[in-house]
Structure 1
Amino acid sequence: MTTRDHALLRIAVDLCVLTVREGSLQALIITRGNEPFAGRLALPGGFVRTDEDIPDAAIRELGEETGLDLGRLHLEQCGVYGEPDRDPRGRVISVAHLVVMPDLPLPVAGSDASGAAWRPVDEIRGGLAFDHDRILNEAVERARRRLELTTLATRFCLPEFTIGDLRTVYEIVWGEPVDPRNFSRKVVNTEGFVQPTGTKRVPPTGRPAALYRTGAATTLNPPILRAGGH
């Protein structure tokens, strides 16, 4: 008989929380209060408890480490990371989640985080603890692709939004300009993407803009593709 080594695993969740604020795509980042990597920036996350499901652990960790109101979040699993040396504490498998929220107040650190903040994605790439740079990059690309194929962009918006607000989400998440007229036509002509509220936003200057809310559709047919058909 051959003796085989079986790994003793711990299961964790890591959360890439994205929002559009201050004209940029921003991620929720904590400053780690404990070792390993005390004082380093990292994505929120932690270990799954023996009595909870993985999505429940993700929501609990997000609330404990940031104090945010989680009422309007969109949460989906976006990857599993299990390289043997990814965590110096031992063999840890992390189930990563993409979380999308509309523009929110500043988070409040809690649990094992000594600080929590929104930071522009482009400013934090390359400086995160563990393998969180890889998780961040892959989650951002997933969000960009989901904007092409699904109605996820509306989850970056407040409950009522203009077509211009929605276009801004696409431009900021994709990092490229979007033609206003073509975009408006695609959105309005895609069944179930948005639903008019019958009201308008009246700005201090300029023309009033019609307000919409999220429609019933979850996928886009046809898709709205980035320039060059990424």
Structure 2
Amino acid sequence: MKERSLYITTCLFLFFAFAKAQTLNPQLLLKLNDGTTAEINNTTGAEAGVMAYDSDLKVAKIYDGTTWQAMSTPSRGSIILNRNGGSGILTTANNTYFDMPINASHIQAIEGGLFTVIGTGEVEVAQDGLYALSASLSTSNMPVGNTKYILAARRNDSLIGYLSRGSVTLTGTDYWGTSGTITYALNAGDRINFQYVINAGGSSLNAVFTNASITKL
């Protein structure tokens, strides 16, 4: 009988010990000093092995003695920039590249902590990897005649590919649009700039949809 009581007592002790272990005491949790990416990168006098929390990228970082390295970053992530409408926002000139007229105010969705919109049509990535770059553009008043167009992506100011390229011939002013995707290997800190060319002789066209997205594969 004593052995049975001892067994029951031991089981109850283990049960409550396990249950208690599953309840975290917020007062005992470790909190890292936090700062923006710029603040952390500009920290002086740090020793190898110290840690900080990057409030921009939402990741913990460790200093290796030379640079701050993300301790854990998501293996997947995406960002979608989308703008509906816009009277006369598509500037044109023959064989001239213009930035896609989308910025941080047009973020439709973002996840993974891998992306920062740093300018008009420009996004910075925070992790090495393989990425799908997509964009689409449409207007309600494409001019009559034969018009050349390009959707392109630049990496750190260098052209890396055409998402879409061709020409369209219209018998009258009309709706028109194009879209495309390329896949490219990027490094942490790379800047991707989405641009377009429309040889419409300097006319300002009305946008219907302007969209760009980056997905880490």
TM-score normalised by the chain length of structure 2: 0.25
Greater helix fraction, Structure 1 or Structure 2? 1
Higher relative contact order (CA 8 A, sep 6+): 2
